[in-house]
Chains A and B, each alone.
Chain A
Amino acid sequence: MSGIGAGLLLQLGLGALAVLTALTAAPSLRSRAVGILCTLIAVIGFLTGLGAMLGATGGLRISIALPIDPLLLAPDRLGGLFMLIVSSVGILVSLYSMSSTHGPDASRTAWVAMPVFLVGMQLVPAATDSVSFLLALEIMTLGSTVLLLADHASRATVASAGIWYSAMSQLSFFFILAGFAVLAAASGGTSFTNLQEIEPVPANVAFVLLLLGFGGKAELVPLHVWVPRVLPEAPSHVSAAMSGAMVKIGVYGGLLVSVRLLPDGPAWWGIAIMVVGGASALYGILQASVSSDLKVLLAYSTTENMGLVFLALGASMLLRGYDAQAAADAALVAALLLAVSHAAFKSTLFLGAGAIIHATGERNLDRLGGLGARMPVTAAAFGIASLGAAAIPITSGFVAEWMLLQSLIHGGRLDGAVVSVAASVAMPLAVAVIALTAGLALLTFVKAYGIAFLARPRSTEAAEAHEVPPLMQLSLVLGALFVLALGLLPGPIAALVAQTVSSNPSAAVQSVGLGGVSLPGIGAVLDPLMLVVLSVLVAIPVIVSIIVSALRYPHRTVELPWGGGGSRARPRMQYTATSYAEPLVRVFDDVLKPSRDVQVTHVAESRYLVERVRVEQRVSDVFETRLYRPVLNLFQRYGIVVRHIANGSIHRYLSYSFVALLIVLIVVSL
């Protein structure tokens, strides 16, 4: 058996062992024991994925009794990359959850679901036939649903989120299943190698179905409605795993379709993916920027990031169709880098949000503040991850967006000539979308970090916060280091990533200088480490002269008159998350449709004096209120009508079968 096969088998075995341990271990030992096993599962997945990404072949072949191709788990390079992403997040989450879980999150059910979730997630990219792919996908969904529902008894919102999640994940699953069914019917086999060479009509149908399905898994608009409910309500380590890893399975599905199964599609496929991605990116970041709930903010930001990934993927498909190979490869590598960096910074951010909830019990930004001094490690990790999410240089997000912008700007032209009208319209529009998204993302994460960690505490819970246990700190620090490493050494990583999708990787991406990245086809170079060294060299004389002059003049203490106005300022006078985002809400009023409620209470003696003003602002999801509610209401009305047909009377049900039987008999004998 090959190393890859052994690794997959080991993951399955460890998964079974972890489930058994979770069932039998004493409650005091459970978190530690199963947490260690989950970490091991993720480590094995990491090694297997690394092996597969570097080109090792082999796998597991499971023969089944059904008359279809045998189940085959044999990850290729791309699958290996995604196994690597998923299991890296798995390592962070497992380490973190060992000390973060308590109460219902650490129940037997939750700990049984955790290894199931991890193993399912790690097996999806390993699958090389549609049956085992769907099987692993369902195992993953099952595990995540149970994990989400861990705390359903004490919070009603969790149960509602569970229903939304189940409904939406099954809807996506239905689309994926239908898409694979169309492909299998057209090609006559379930193995991915058979699912090629398809006629245009079934290929188009399958493409639309699979795009809808994987778009739903990747939280794209308009199938994203579960995200702002589920990710905030799930325990934080689960949200981190969902947003950091599970969502990448949707990306993997998109890549599987566009790179492996249906590589030579018409131009409108690329444009469709770009439109969906661009809309998701804009809508996601807009909702995130006005949200004052930290986890809702992070959830919507996930939609934004996945939108960017799909935008890059669509651009790559479009450019490949016009033979702009270098730009297409760069866009594809940018999509992968976006996915990798999102996995790093978003899982760190969610784990950081979990640390904040662990310390304060609050996730409403309007009631946080001043945590930077009280939780320095969390603050540092969250800050670095925020920089990554805002795509600031020397972090991972910047490199990916830079590469994407390079490919979009240079992609519309090949040897100086415009490749096509469609591309020359789509590319500048995409650049504009990314620019707006990047600006809003910066605002969003300035808000998230600034309101939560800086200024003064806005509630007693925030004032009494303490740093989280060491194991949680360790995973936060690891995540932040990932973000920095990806940002400082993009060259080797990009070159490695390019090997998974490009036939000629060195023509697309090269590693130059001190871990810098170069795009030979486009002629662009980025070397963050060199830039850091340069800026340090520039900064050293300035810093030295500041220190010298500070030493020369003695320090004087100056008492500002009236404390400069700051000494009497109360925490309530500070900016809150809501007030910080208020201008944005006004600007994007037409898109966000916020509902405001202002209640003024007057003093009893005079109507001219105000005792209290209460302002409430709610931003609801437009897609939910305008698209899903009407459909759900329709179903509800239909359900009420149908209730008369199925009224619980056994005689009526028997009559239905009797009448059906008679009809069948009559039809048969006609």
Chain B
Amino acid sequence: MFENIYPQLIGLCAGALLLTSALMVWRHSLLASIRLLALQGIALAALVAVIGIAEGESELVLVSLLILSVKGIGLPWVLAYQSKASIKQIQESPRLNPTAALLTVTLLTILSYVVVSRVFGLGDSSTGHAAPIGLAMVLIGFLLLISRRRARSQLIGFLLLDNGIATITFLTSGGVPILLEFAFSLDVLLVVLILHVFAGRMRTKFGGTAVDQLRELHD
């Protein structure tokens, strides 16, 4: 029974990951992006859980719980820590218009499929077939990093990139030991906390967190 729906489940989770990534590029509101990030975290956790159940590794299920708590709940909560009222007003005015951005996302996804199939081969397993999604997420995260002006929107791009790396890891090698995953998660949490505090300081100091206005640092 489970063997039959396993490929579908993997496809569903991977699809959710890609969809949330694309939506993050499309949506300009910070709150929406944070919610999408939470969804993505949940999808990633589900993906890990599915792989864990299929391979019969209880450790991976634990990892999936960890991911759910950190990426699905912890990080979005930290990002949305401000009052909802103020965060709703934050609208990103990206450097790329939505049409061009979505077109770029399409191209990046195609590129990642080409690269993975040419270089590594997709293999026969359903996880192998989904692997290019991870690379696409990394590239989309990078795109967010360079197209968003605000520090916190960039932070979301960074987290998307991190999710992409995690996705590749789980899809190609069946995950990493729980200790390593724990350390990675803590690292990311710490980075986000620091950047969050930093962005808050920037806002109180300069009245905004638009990174592209900070050019005078080069001297």
Contact = CB atoms under 8 A, between A and B. Distances in A.
Interface of A: 646-651, 654-655, 657-658, 661-662, 665-666, 668-669
Given A654-B142, A654-B146, A661-B142, A647 B115 contact: no
SS class, residues of chain B in contact with chain A: helix
B212 A650 contact: yes
Nearest to A653: B146
Interface in B82-131: 95, 111-112, 114-115, 118-119
A655 B104 CA distance: 14
Contacts of B111: 662, 665-666
A646 B217 CA distance: 12
A658 B143 CA distance: 8
Nearest to A659: B146
B146 A658 contact: yes
B212 A669 contact: no
A648 B142 contact: no
A277 B115 CA distance: 59
B205 interface: no
B215 A649 contact: yes
A670 to B, nearest CB: 8
Nearest to B151: A650
Contact of B218 (A646, A655, A662, A668): A646
Interface in B194-219: 211-212, 214-219
Contacts of A657: 142
A646 B95 CA distance: 19
A648, A658, A662, A665 — most chain B CB neighbours (10 Å): A665
A664 to B, nearest CB: 10
Contacts of A654: 142, 145-146
B137 to A, nearest CB: 14
Contact of B95 (A648, A651, A665): A651
Nearest to B149: A651
Contact of A669 (B114, B143, B217): B114
Given A658-B142, A666-B111, 7 more contacts: A646-B218, A648-B214, A648-B219, A649-B215, A662-B111, A662-B139, A668-B118
Contact of A668 (B115, B143, B214, B217): B115
B198 to A, nearest CB: 13
Contact of B215 (A648, A662, A666): A648
A184 to B, nearest CB: 34
B123 to A, nearest CB: 16
A650 B214 contact: yes
Contacts of A655: 146
B216 A648 contact: yes
A646 B215 CA distance: 10
A426 B217 CA distance: 58
28 contacts: A646-B218, A647-B218, A648-B215, A648-B216, A648-B217, A648-B218, A648-B219, A649-B212, A649-B215, A650-B211, A650-B214, A651-B95, A651-B146, A651-B149, A651-B212, A654-B142, A657-B142, A658-B142, A658-B143, A658-B146, A661-B139, A665-B111, A666-B111, A666-B115, A668-B115, A668-B119, A669-B118, A669-B119
The 5 A-B pairs of least Cβ separation, nearest first, read: A648-B218, A669-B118, A648-B215, A669-B115, A654-B146
A650 B157 CA distance: 14
Nearest to A656: B146
B168 to A, nearest CB: 13
Nearest to A650: B211
Contacts of B143: 658
Contacts of A649: 212, 215
SS class, residues of chain A in contact with chain B: helix
A365 to B, nearest CB: 41
A651 B215 CA distance: 10
Interface of B: 95, 111-112, 114-115, 118-119, 139, 142-143, 145-147, 149, 211-212, 214-219
A407 B219 CA distance: 58
Nearest to A658: B142
Nearest to A646: B218
Nearest to A655: B146
Contacts of A668: 115, 118-119
Contacts of B114: 669
A374 B101 CA distance: 83
Contacts of A665: 111-112, 115
A468 to B, nearest CB: 45
Contacts of B119: 668-669
Contacts of B112: 665
Contacts of B219: 648
A655 B212 CA distance: 13
Nearest to B147: A651
A655 B216 CA distance: 19
A315 to B, nearest CB: 52
Nearest to B216: A648
A659 to B, nearest CB: 9
A651 B115 CA distance: 25
Contacts of B115: 665-666, 668-669
Contacts of A658: 142-143, 145-146
Nearest to B114: A669
B136 to A, nearest CB: 11
B215 A647 contact: yes
Contacts of B218: 646-648
Nearest to A668: B119
B95, B115, B146, B147 — most chain A CB neighbours (10 Å): B146
A654 to B, nearest CB: 4
A348 B95 CA distance: 67
Contacts of B217: 648
A646 B211 CA distance: 15
Nearest to B215: A648
B120 to A, nearest CB: 10
Contacts of A648: 214-219
Contacts of B142: 654, 657-658, 661
A665 B118 CA distance: 10
Contacts of B212: 649-651
A646 B218 CA distance: 9
A643 to B, nearest CB: 8
A531 B168 CA distance: 89
A14 B211 CA distance: 51
A669 to B, nearest CB: 4
B209 to A, nearest CB: 12
A651 B118 contact: no
Nearest to B211: A650
Nearest to B217: A648
A570 B158 CA distance: 80
A657 B143 CA distance: 11
A649 B95 CA distance: 13
B211, B216, B219 — most chain A CB neighbours (10 Å): B211
A648 B217 CA distance: 7
A666 B111 CA distance: 8
Contacts of B147: 651
A649 B212 CA distance: 6
A630 to B, nearest CB: 26
Contacts of A662: 111, 139
A641 to B, nearest CB: 15
Nearest to B112: A665
B184 to A, nearest CB: 21
Contacts of A661: 139, 142
Contacts of B95: 651
A657, A658, A669 — most chain B CB neighbours (10 Å): A669
A669 B120 CA distance: 10
A651 to B, nearest CB: 5
Contact of B211 (A647, A651, A666, A669): A651
A475 to B, nearest CB: 45
A655 B119 CA distance: 24
A662 to B, nearest CB: 7
Nearest to B135: A665
